[in-house]
Each structure stands twice: as structure tokens, then as C-alpha cells.
């Protein structure tokens, strides 16, 4: 079984904890992958600064520098192909992935979302906004979802979910802190399933096959 040649897409708003968890899981032999590239929209992203200090390969591609989404997609694909990437993890990337990249890497792009989709997903639902909305709605349960990325926000086929209780007195910060370790575990599990070729997709159903 060959290692995933993984690109992690990070955003400016996250802490970079998911990409750090990927790096740690690879180092500890829990994930059969290599970080081939860390892609950011800005040099100021905490995850990019960490990657550069850790001597991991980075590419800064600012979508605002391109005339349209197709040109942004081409720039991304050029970098991804040059780095030999065969799978992508969106780890705090808060934008919609250009459709050119989605179709070139169909069912090879995973996103981690901090809620139980299809609840609390969609444009603008990222990071603390998600936890605020869960609390405002009065949910008693939240969690995280790893899903394949399609052309829209948070709508692709679900791979894994983990649930956590909402507790009396929770704040967006306390709820996020309870869920975050689950995000890391679910993302690693899903990536390892992908590395082991154990995921197939039929319509919107992801089948998880037993290990060989």
C-alpha cells in the first residue's frame, strides 16, 4: 500500500491544529501519508507560518490575484501536480474549493467540518460561527463530520461523524474545545481509510470496506 501524497489546504482564520494533527499522525505511524504540500491563501495563516518553521513545503496562492475561479483552479492544479499530490485535506480552509480542483480530484478531497452535517453547514458556517449557531438553536448534541468535497459548501458524501454533547453553560469556545479532538481523530481515521483504499462512493453514500 503506497502512502497518500497529501496536500492540506489551510485558511487564515484557523489555528492550524488539524494540519499539525496530520503531521503528528504521520510521524507516529498512524497515518500512511506524506505531506506533499500545504496550500494557503495568505502568508499570514498560522498554519503556513508553522509549516515554514517546520520545513514543510508550502504554496501561497491568493484567489484574489486571479481574474476568475477557473484561473485560480489552474494555478492550484499546477502546484498540486508539481508536488505529486493524490489526495487533499481541507483543514480549516473556509472557501469553496474551485470546481476545476474538485473534478480533477473527485472523491480524493476531504473536508473536516465542526458540526453534524447537514445541520449547520453552508456558506458562512465555519469555525466559531458554527458553534454559535448550534448553541443559539438549543441543540443538545453536536459534533464533527468528515466528508468528500463536491462543488458546493459542506454538501458532499459523508465519510465519518462523531457526536459530542452540548452541556449546560457551554460557550462557543468550550463547545469547540470539546469537539476539536474528535475532529482530529475523525480526519485521521478518514484519511487512513482513503490510504487503504477502503472507501467507495455510490451516489451520496460512502461505503467503508473491511481491511484486507
Binding site for ligand GAR (CB under 6 A): 14-18, 47, 91-92, 94, 112-114, 126-127, 130, 183
Spatial contact of 33 and 64, defined as CB atoms under 8 Å apart: no
Cβ of residue 121: shortest distance to ligand GAR, in angstroms?
7
Q: Which is nearer to ligand GAR, 139 or 196 (CB)?
A: 139
The answer to whether 207 is a known catalytic residue is no
Out of 113, 131, 147, 184, the active site residue is 113
Q: Which is nearer to ligand GAR, 17 or 42 (CB)?
A: 17
Q: Which is nearer to ligand GAR, 57 or 127 (CB)?
A: 127
- Distance, CA of 24 to CA of 191 (rounded, Å): 13
Cβ of residue 156: shortest distance to ligand GAR, in angstroms?
12
Cβ of residue 101: shortest distance to ligand GAR, in angstroms?
16
List, by residue number, the catalytic residues. 113
Amino acid at each position: 500500500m503506497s502512502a497518500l501524497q497529501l496536500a492540506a489546504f489551510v485558511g487564515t482564520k484557523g489555528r492550524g491544529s488539524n494540519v499539525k494533527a496530520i503531521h503528528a499522525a504521520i510521524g507516529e505511524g498512524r497515518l500512511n501519508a506524506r505531506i506533499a504540500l500545504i496550500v494557503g491563501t495568505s502568508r499570514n495563516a498560522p498554519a503556513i507560518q508553522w509549516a515554514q518553521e517546520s520545513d514543510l513545503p508550502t504554496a501561497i496562492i491568493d484567489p484574489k490575484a486571479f481574474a476568475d475561479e477557473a484561473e485560480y483552479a489552474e494555478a492550484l492544479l499546477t502546484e498540486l501536480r508539481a508536488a505529486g499530490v493524490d489526495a487533499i485535506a481541507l483543514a480549516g480552509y473556509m472557501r469553496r474549493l474551485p470546481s476545476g480542483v474538485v473534478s480533477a480530484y473527485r472523491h480524493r478531497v476531504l473536508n473536516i467540518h465542526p458540526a453534524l452535517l447537514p445541520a449547520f453547514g453552508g456558506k458562512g458556517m465555519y469555525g466559531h460561527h458554527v458553534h454559535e449557531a448550534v448553541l443559539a438553536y438549543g441543540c443538545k448534541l453536536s459534533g464533527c463530520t468528515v466528508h468528500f468535497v463536491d462543488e458546493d459548501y459542506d454538501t458532499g458524501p459523508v465519510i465519518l461523524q462523531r457526536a459530542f454533547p452540548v452541556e449546560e453553560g457551554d460557550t462557543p469556545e468550550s463547545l469547540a474545545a470539546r469537539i476539536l479532538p474528535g475532529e482530529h481523530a475523525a480526519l485521521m481515521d478518514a484519511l487512513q481509510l482513503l490510504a487503504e483504499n477502503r472507501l467507495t462512493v455510490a451516489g451520496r453514500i460512502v461505503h467503508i470496506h473491511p481491511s484486507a
